[in-house]
Amino acid sequence: MVNIVALMGSPRVQGQTSLAVEAVLKGAAACGEINVGKIWLNQLKITPCQSCDSCTETGCCRLRDDMGKVYQAIIAADALILAAPIYFSGISAQAKLMVDRCQPFWAAKYVLKTDVFDGRKRPGIFIATGGQPLYEGQFIGSVYVVNLLFKMIGVKNIGNLTLPDVDNKPLTVRPDAVAQALELGKALMRAE
């Protein structure tokens, strides 16, 4: 049983980002038994990182809020999906809030030099949806942010699914995009 954690960064539960995640999960399910834990970041109460630096001493965040569940899920995951809509050419605030609160993982790795993940390198996929037709740099910022996050949380990125133009052409009329998502889901299960 592969424990897949999907960090859902869109406020729209039935939106395009969610549809893309569903297609990836369908692909994964075709390759073996999966247990999916979806975390709807928009529904959690997460305080923005206060840059207090206490995690550089303890390796933990001193804030007590819903991020606690997210830390646990990230550590326990066998595979990870981060999915977010593009807002102003970056990931949604819901997703970025969670990313910034992953600073304790940075502190553990680089300041305290401990390995929270016991050497486990889990496969991960980043899914980003943009409403506008493809434009230069549409996904660049988001990919940089998520690559850095994955590095901090012991995740090997096995592929990005970046889907432009979803406001005009939803996934229901894009079999090519759905096929791409299915293949990434299969790759997630096959990754070493």
Two structure tokens written together for 5: 């954690």
Two structure tokens written together for 175: 């079999």
The site map against ligand FMN for 164-183 (x = CB under 6 A) is --xx----------------
Give the list of residues 6+ apart from residue 179 with CB closer than 8 angstroms, or none.
Answer: none
The site map against ligand FMN for 66-85 (x = CB under 6 A) is -------------------x
Please choose, out of 15-23, 73-81, 98-106, 149-157, the segment that lies near ligand FMN by the rule CB under 6 A. 15-23
Please choose, out of 74-82, 98-106, 107-115, 131-139, the segment that lies near ligand FMN by the rule CB under 6 A. 131-139
Please choose, out of 96-104, 112-120, 128-136, 178-186, the segment that lies near ligand FMN by the rule CB under 6 A. 128-136
Two structure tokens written together for 123: 């496969």
**Which residues are paired to 129 by β-bridges?**
85, 163
Q: For residue 3, which phi and psi values (nearest 5 degrees)?
A: -90, 105
Count of CB atoms situated within 10 Å of the CB of 164 = 19
Binding site for ligand FMN (CB under 6 A): 10, 12, 15-18, 85-89, 129-132, 138, 166-167
